Structure 1
Amino acid sequence: MNPIDPQHRNDWLLRAEPVEGVERIEAFFQAKAYAMHRHDTYAIGRTLAGVQSFNYRRSTTHSLPGQTMVLHPDEPHDGHAGTGEGFRYRMIYVQPALFQEVLGGRALPFIEGGVTGDPRLWAATDALLQQISQGLDPFEQGDALAELAHALAAVAGTAPARSTGDFASVRRAREYLDAQCHQAVSLESLELAVGRDRWSLSRDFRVFYGTSPYRYLTQRRLDAARAMMLRGVALAQVAASAGFTDQSHMTRHFTKTFGIAPARWLRILNGARATEILRNTAA
């Protein structure tokens, strides 16, 4: 087990610039990290030190070094230290659409319990869970994502592609939401753009992308909001530009999605970045 440096026990979070739909973080939390929340991506990672505990699908799970965490899209979960020494971990967040490019309409893989010791997933996540300071080439990332999608399907025992469900129309819906995420979007406009009724479209969207069309749209707005926050844009302006009704609307969705309020997320992230700059300067 990797020891936790007692000199760096304050909460911190490092975040790599997202590359083609994949976000990577490394973080340390002393006690409680996140309240219950859910997001529309897979969260896949490793605990590097300590015990990482979380409530997930009606039970409490503990992640230890040497295991792989795989949290399915749209499943509520939280995060806290399982012992008094805190925990350190790395995580990647992958949009289900990227895995569907490999799986071609198969049901999304589900790993029971959220933690596994299967060596196939450990090997398949190696490249994607490198140190945050080491950049990922898009070609390397794409290859690693394909390997990970196949490993997830194998470990989960994912069935062959469904004979029912219109994957092509669901893809059109996703592309429409991507293009319109900064504007007001109604169910009627989505139906017209895709040529499907809302109920069957919502059902198939959940099958192929693991979440509802509305939650997918909200996540794209939150992605835009975080990018603006990191550029120093005021929160009220961020909310308006990202497509939210107002700042409180954005804050509510941000906290439900990431388990942490926007101001605290930015404060922890900026503190970790400042510490990293000082370390590099001293070196």
Structure 2
Amino acid sequence: MSRAPAPAAPVEWVRHTEPIDGMKRIEARFHGKAYAMHRHDTYAVGSTLAGVQSFNYRRSRRDSLPGHTIVLHPDEAHDGQAGTDEGFQYRMIYVEPALFQAVLQGRALPFIEGGVTTDSRLAAATRNLLQGVDAPLEPLEYSEAIAELALALETVAGTPARRPKGDFLAAQRAHDYLRAHRAQVITLDDLEAATGRDRWSLSHDFRMFYGTSPYRFQTMRRLDMVRCMLVRGTSLADAAAAAGFADQSHMTRHFAKTFGLTPGRWLRIAASERDV
């Protein structure tokens, strides 16, 4: 008696665009567990297209359905998995807080309670940015959409219009310095010299205006370098060294904590884009 063929493994894939001035767009489909707990230093703003997109966020499980808008704050831990057996499909943009600060000009970063919303103002503000990854964005369209989203987030979050106490210009100088020296070992003494602000006040200001710590911000820029090099075929060890990590294991630990995937699994999923 012949055995019935084993069911085919669910197809999982990620399609993405090249980053545009601090923003990356993806569309993906997953079944079961997609991402382990992780956190990154960007806003993650998305829309569920099919299925139930479930994730743990701020000590509670959240479920996003088609038509809902997801807004995850920078540096907040979260994971991702299918809420049902059918899997889920979604689109997401990852936006550096610096883009929103160009609009907010030193006002506090907006926080959307709960991580999932049905607010029509945010759905409208994300419509252009959450087009399919094959849809190009013209420069003016992109700039206007980022500004519209920043202001919609501020309105929906109810963020006070007054400026918080802190030195925005010093935080901005630190942001630019860390980006320019992302593969170097930077000390708090270096940041003090570059910004003219004492280290403890600067760390507080940086988190207030950019949603993460100076160290986390620099680590993310290094991981961005690693991902680009891995796609080009660079070995894990060489990518880790070129990006300023102590060694491959040091980079791998940070990679998994940041993206919820090991570098190997991330590469396999990235390679699947060619087969979609």
Range into which the TM-score falls when normalised by the shorter chain? over 0.9
The aligned amino acid for 2:211 is G
Shift of 1:117: 0.3
Whether 1:203 aligns to 2:204 is: yes
Q: Return the letter of the residue paired with 1:164.
A: K
Letter aligned with residue 70 of structure 1:
V
| Worse-matched range after superposition: 144-153 or 7-16 | 7-16
Contact 1:48 1:88 in 2 (8 A): yes
Counterpart of 1:244 in structure 2 is 245
User: Which residue in 1 is equivalent to 2:185?
Assistant: 184
User: How far off its partner does 1:107 sit?
Assistant: 0.5
SS in 1 for 2:49: strand
Corresponding position of 2:57: 56
Report how many residues are paired: 270
CA displacement 1:95-124 (0-9 Å, x = unmatched) = 001000001111100000000000010011
Provide runs of 4+ in structure 1 moved above 4 Å. none
**Equivalent pair of 1:104/1:161 in contact (CA under 8 Å):** no
- In the TM superposition, what is the alpha-carbon distance from 1:137 to its structure 2 partner? 2.0
- Where does structure 1 lack aligned partners over 5 or more consecutive residues? 1-5, 277-283
State how far apart, in whole Å, the 2-side matches of 1:164 and 1:269 are. 42
Inter-partner Cα distance in structure 1 for 2:229 and 2:142: 25
| Aligned-residue offset at 1:163 | 5.0
- 2:2 is the alignment partner of 1:9: no
Question: In the alignment, which residue of structure 1 is the partner of 2:131?
Answer: 130
Kindly indicate whether the alpha-carbon contact (under 8 Å) linking 2:49 and 2:90 is maintained by their aligned counterparts in 1: yes
Whether contact under 8 Å (2:107, 2:164) holds in the other structure is no
Deviation string, structure 1 residues 227-264 (Cα, Å, up to 9, x no partner): 11111111111111111111111111111011001111
Give CA-to-partner distance per residue, 1:206-243, whole Å, 9 cap, x none.
11000000000001111111111111111111111111
Secondary structure of the 2:41 match is coil
Aligned equivalents of 1:144 and 1:7: distance in 2? 41
Query: Which residue pairs with 1:280 in the alignment?
Result: none
Which residue number in structure 1 is paired with residue 26 of structure 2?
25
Instruction: Give distance in 2, aligned partners of 1:141 and 1:9.
Output: 34
Structure 2: how far apart are the matches of 1:72 and 1:100? Answer: 14
Preserved CA contact (<8 Å) 2:184 2:244: yes
Letter in structure 2 aligned against 1:54: F
What residue in structure 1 maps to residue 118 of structure 2?
A: 117
Matched residues in 2 for 1:261 and 1:189: separation? 32
Match of residue 83 from structure 2? 82
Q: Take 2:59 and 2:100, find their aligned partners in 1: how far apart are those partners?
A: 26
Query: Which whole-Å deviations, capped at 9, do the CAs of 1:111-140 have from their partners, x for residues lacking one?
Result: 000000000100110111111112222221
Amino acid across the alignment from 1:240: A
Paired-residue identity, % = 64
How many Å separate the matches in 2 of 1:266 and 1:133?
21
Q: Offset of 1:161 from its aligned partner?
A: 3.5
CA distance in 2 between partners of 1:250 and 1:139 (Å): 37
What is the alpha-carbon distance in structure 2 between the residues aligned to residue 41 and residue 66 of structure 1? Answer: 22
Q: Distance in 2 between matches of 1:163 and 1:183?
A: 31
CA displacement 1:159-192 (0-9 Å, x = unmatched): 1132521000000000000011011111111111
Change (3 A) 1:181 1:7: same
Alignment of 1:142-181 (within 5 A): 142-181=143-182
Deviation of 1:142 (Å): 1.1
8 Å CA contact retained: 1:44, 1:70? yes
Q: Displacement, 1:272?
A: 2.3
> What is the RMSD of the two structures over their aligned residues, measured on CA atoms?
1.4
> Is the contact made by 1:51 and 1:86 (CA closer than 8 Å) also made in structure 2?
yes
Question: Unpaired runs of 5+ in structure 2?
Answer: 1-6
